[in-house]
Amino acid sequence: MDRVIEVNNLHRIYETQAGAVPALRGISFAVDRSEFVAIMGPSGSGKSTLMNILGCLDRPTFGQYIFAGTDIATLSDNQLADLRATNIGFVFQNFNLLPRATVLRNVMLPLVYTACPHAERDKRARTALRAVGLEERYYEHKSNEISGGQMQRVAIARALVNNPEMILADEPTGNLDSQTGEMVLETLKVLRSQKRTIILITHDEDVANHADRILYLRDGLLVSREKPGFLPIEKSLTAARPYEADN
């Protein structure tokens, strides 16, 4: 299998004045290239901590995280920053667009800090916007002049512009109405069909059901991994025990 992610016995422990607080407790799983995986669980389950580690924004206390064949523990902070910039596309609930910049400029932004020539930036930004289905007539609009659904498509295009190994989407429909949210999820599914690897963080089972596979977390443990709609969330969380690594 061509794997993008391998996580082996991952732990994250936070030191507080009250003592050690385990956020992740021995998680193991793998994600193949072109797979669409949802990670969900209740508040305090560890999904945000796991997202930060998968996005190379944080390091595990111990355990192994291999991304695209590279053991993350072997990288310096500068190397991690380079990896985030070139291999991981982030999509956030609040869009994180520059409100007074045009749609095109927002999508080009990750390329500004590279050696990519301006003409190539423009070309790649337009290609990314076409990939998410945004009409060209919106490209010169400022991002605060378009709808929430369009803003999220712009954010997805920005995540695509560096041609990353993985798109990490954190509650991408959280600020959208249900119909607009469905449009954004369909966009992610189209990207998955184009051989993109999608990791979706959500608390909403209806949203998670758009994925190929759902990983359920509870109390820092991976308690179930299922096909969408196969196992009710209440049932999946009854036996909190860690799984062994995927074969």
The predicted-structure confidence for 37-52, as pLDDT tens digits, reads as follows 999 988 889 999 999 9
Domain ranges of the chain: 3-236
Q: Six-digit token pair at 176?
A: 């959208």
Mean model confidence pLDDT for the chain: 88
E strand or H helix at 225: strand 221-226
Report pLDDT digits (tens) over 153-181: 999 999 999 989 999 999 999 888 888 89
Mean pLDDT calculated for residue range 92-102: 92
Quick one: pLDDT at residue 213?
Answer: 93
Per CATH, the architecture of 3-236 is what?
Answer: 3-Layer(aba) Sandwich (3.40)
**pLDDT score, position 1:** 59
CB 124 within 8 A of CB 112: no
pLDDT of residue 114: 78
Closest listed residue to residue 235, CA positions, set 208, 216, 221: 216
**Mean pLDDT on 197-216:** 93
pTM of the predicted structure, to 2 decimals = 0.85
Backbone angles phi, psi at 214, to 5 degrees: -120, 130
pLDDT at 227: 67
Render pLDDT for 5-19 as a digit per residue (tens, 0 to 9): 999 999 999 998 888
